[in-house]
């Protein structure tokens, strides 16, 4: 497959302080990659390095087969054939929409330029609005102009830095779906940076979770959720609870709520202390079950209700039941664990056994 972007073991520093620590990733043509992580983990710095705004202390970056960054060499941003969309839109206030969209179309003039601009405005759903000025547009429309401007010169790669974070939740969700469609239609390759996992999942074919300058997992949204490779990723992505347990056989784990068998084998040895990840959808209602837990909290989600359940030990579980399984706070409900594969992490030495922890 055609690789548009390659980062090989890149290291970035600010005044000697490490911000990106030996990160590698590869993006194929026509795909959208997301970097996701908590504030300060280094994702914007990675994007700035890809754009050519930040030099590398080690490693190298390739765009479309050319080395663009390595220690001592940083190809300037304007020579990288990139499109960029940032959260503050950064539209030129003195140019109308057509002027903004056509800004990067150097050397293209007259009727051809007009046609390209009109086409791009149609693509982003702003046909006929070329004569308006940025201050006459809503936040979502401004962001669409920024996207049209970035896409118009047909860049090899488009970089999006938290592009929707200034918009309200509903618009953000709608626009991220639309942007995904627009990028797909154009066959564009994109890298998006966000701290919002819903945005990353809505847009990304592949998502990288970062922490403290390192890439912990580079995978599909499905695998990040169902097969987290790392305890931090399991905690950061989605909701869930970690229950302390022990390994009985490579595939069997015992916790306070029973013995669970999965299709994954762990080689930590019999009796190894561990934490088992239980997602809300791993816990299903079962009136016949002898395992009972008390409803501590409930959050109505329309088709489903998210319950926080308290176990006899004081530990907690999260459970997502269909909305018709309506239970009152304080009620005891029968539950069963229904998980094909068990995601567990060895308990670090020094941890004493204790109550379950609620992630997110
Ligand atoms: N201009 C700068 N000078 C010095 N340190 C910086 C600078 N910019 C970022 N840093 C530091 O580098 C690290 C990574 O920052 P970066 O902005 O890449 O993180 P981020 O994951 O994008 O965070 P956020 O989501 O808050 O934007 C942080 O520790 C930050 O404090």
- Tell me the per-residue pLDDT of 81-93, one tens digit each, with 9 for 90 and over: 899 887 766 789 9
In a shared domain, residues 35 and 142: yes
**Angle between helices 110-123 and 139-151 in degrees, nearest 10:** 130
Cα(24) to ligand 1 centroid in Å equals 18
pLDDT of residue 352 exceeding 50, the answer is no
* 19 Cβ below 6 A of ligand 1: yes
In a shared domain, residues 225 and 243: no
Q: Measured between alpha carbons, how far is 79 from 51 in angstroms, rounded to an integer?
A: 10
Q: From 100, 90, 89, select the one nearest 163 (Cα to Cα).
A: 89
Q: Measured between alpha carbons, how far is 309 from 327 in angstroms, rounded to an integer?
A: 11
In a shared domain, residues 189 and 249: no
pLDDT of residue 249 exceeding 50, the answer is yes
Given pLDDT bands bounded at 50, 70 and 90, which one contains residue 1? Answer: low
The domain in which residue 324 lies consists of 239-359
pLDDT at 348: 72
CB-CB contact of 144 with 125 (8 Å): yes
Please state the φ and ψ torsions of residue 173, each to the nearest 5 degrees. Answer: -65, -45
pLDDT at 179: 82
Q: From 152, 149, 171, select the one nearest 100 (Cα to Cα).
A: 149
Report which listed range, 164-168, 236-240, 252-256, is most confident.
Answer: 252-256
Cα(158) to ligand 1 centroid in Å equals 21
Q: Whose CA is closest to atom 18 on ligand 1?
A: 42
Q: Measured between alpha carbons, how far is 56 from 63 in angstroms, rounded to an integer?
A: 15
**22 exposed, middle or buried (CB, 10 Å; 0-12, 13-18, 19+)?**
middle
Q: Among 165-169, 200-204, 257-261, whose mean pLDDT is lowest?
A: 165-169
pLDDT at 211: 96
In a shared domain, residues 227 and 243: no
pLDDT at 94: 94
pLDDT of residue 31 exceeding 90, the answer is yes
Cα(21) to ligand 1 centroid in Å equals 13
| Site to substitute for ligand 1 among 20, 21, 41, most atoms within 8 A of C-beta | 41
pLDDT, tens only, 114-141: 988 998 898 888 888 999 999 999 888 8
SS3 16: coil
* 163 Cβ below 6 A of ligand 1: no
* 44 Cβ below 6 A of ligand 1: yes
In a shared domain, residues 18 and 70: yes
pLDDT at 355: 36
pLDDT, tens only, 33-63: 999 999 999 999 999 999 999 999 999 999 9
Pairing mode, if any, of strands 157-161 and 82-86? parallel
In a shared domain, residues 295 and 175: no
Cα(42) to ligand 1 centroid in Å equals 6
pLDDT at 297: 96
In a shared domain, residues 214 and 311: no
| Site to substitute for ligand 1 among 11, 13, 14, most atoms within 8 A of C-beta | 14
Among 196, 231, 266, give the residue marking a domain's end: 231
Cα dihedral: 23, 24, 29, 33 (round 10): -40
| Structural domains in the chain (count) | 2
Q: Measured between alpha carbons, how far is 237 from 225 in angstroms, rounded to an integer?
A: 6
- What is the mean predicted confidence (pLDDT) over 337-357? 70
CATH code: domain of residue 212: 3.40.50.300
Atom of ligand 1 nearest to the CA of 193: 22
Q: Among 112-116, 151-155, 171-175, 239-243, whose mean pLDDT is lowest?
A: 171-175
- What is the mean predicted confidence (pLDDT) over 265-290? 94
* 195 Cβ below 6 A of ligand 1: yes
Q: Whose CA is closest to atom 2 on ligand 1?
A: 14
Q: Measured between alpha carbons, how far is 78 from 103 in angstroms, rounded to an integer?
A: 13
pLDDT of residue 183 exceeding 90, the answer is no
Given pLDDT bands bounded at 50, 70 and 90, which one contains residue 349? Answer: low
For 175-226, the three-class secondary structure string (H helix, E strand, C coil) is HHHHHHHHHHHHCCCEEEEECCHHHHHHHCCEEEEEECCEEEEEECHHHHHH
* 18 Cβ below 6 A of ligand 1: no
ipTM for the complex shown: 0.96
* Number of alpha carbons in the 13 Å side-chain half-sphere of residue 218: 12
pLDDT, tens only, 187-246: 889 999 998 888 899 889 999 999 999 999 999 999 999 899 999 999 999 899 999 999
pLDDT, tens only, 292-318: 999 999 999 889 999 999 998 889 999
Atom of ligand 1 nearest to the CA of 213: 14
**238 exposed, middle or buried (CB, 10 Å; 0-12, 13-18, 19+)?**
buried
* 194 Cβ below 6 A of ligand 1: no
- Please report, rounded to a whole number, the percentage of residues in the chain having pLDDT higher than 90: 65
CATH code: domain of residue 302: 2.40.50.140
In a shared domain, residues 152 and 254: no
Q: Whose CA is closest to atom 14 on ligand 1?
A: 42
pLDDT of residue 104 exceeding 90, the answer is no
Among 215, 231, 247, give the residue marking a domain's end: 231
pLDDT at 354: 37
Give the contacts of 37 (CB within 8 A, at least 6 positions apart). 43, 195, 209, 210, 211, 236
């Amino acid at each position: 497959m055609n690789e548009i972007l390659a980062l090989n073991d890149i290291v970035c520093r600010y005044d000697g302080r490490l911000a990106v620590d030996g990160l590698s990733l590869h993006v194929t043509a026509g795909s959208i990659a997301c970097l996701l992580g908590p504030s300060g983990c280094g994702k914007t710095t990675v994007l700035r390095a890809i754009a050519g705004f930040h030099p590398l202390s080690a490693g190298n970056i390739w765009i479309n087969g050319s080395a663009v960054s390595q220690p001592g060499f940083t190809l300037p941003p304007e020579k990288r054939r990139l499109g960029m969309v940032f959260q503050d839109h950064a539209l030129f206030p003195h140019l109308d929409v057509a002027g903004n969209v056509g800004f990067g179309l150097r050397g293209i003039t007259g009727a051809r330029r007009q046609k390209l601009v009109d086409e791009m405005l149609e693509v982003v759903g702003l046909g006929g609005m070329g004569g308006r000025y940025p201050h006459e547009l809503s936040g979502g429309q401004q962001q669409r102009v920024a996207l049209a401007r970035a896409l118009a010169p047909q860049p090899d790669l488009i970089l999006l830095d938290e592009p929707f974070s200034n918009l309200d939740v509903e618009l953000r969700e709608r626009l991220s779906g639309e942007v995904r469609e627009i990028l797909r239609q154009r066959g564009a390759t994109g890298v998006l940076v966000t701290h919002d996992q819903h945005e990353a999942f809505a847009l990304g074919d592949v998502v990288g979770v970062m922490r403290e300058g390192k890439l912990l997992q580079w995978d599909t949204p499905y695998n990040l959720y169902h097969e987290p490779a790392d305890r931090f990723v399991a905690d950061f992505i989605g909701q869930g609870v970690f229950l302390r347990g022990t390994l009985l056989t490579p595939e069997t784990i015992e916790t306070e709520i029973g013995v669970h068998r999965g299709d994954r084998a762990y080689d930590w040895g019999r009796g190894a202390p561990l934490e088992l990840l239980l997602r809300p959808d791993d816990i299903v209602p079962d009136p016949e079950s002898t395992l009972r837990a008390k409803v501590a909290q409930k959050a109505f989600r329309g088709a489903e209700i998210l319950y926080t359940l308290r176990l006899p030990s004081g530990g907690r579980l999260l459970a997502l039941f269909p909305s018709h399984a309506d239970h009152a706070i304080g009620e005891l409900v029968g539950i069963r664990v229904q998980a094909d594969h068990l995601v567990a992490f060895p308990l670090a030495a020094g941890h004493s056994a204790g109550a379950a922890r609620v992630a997110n």
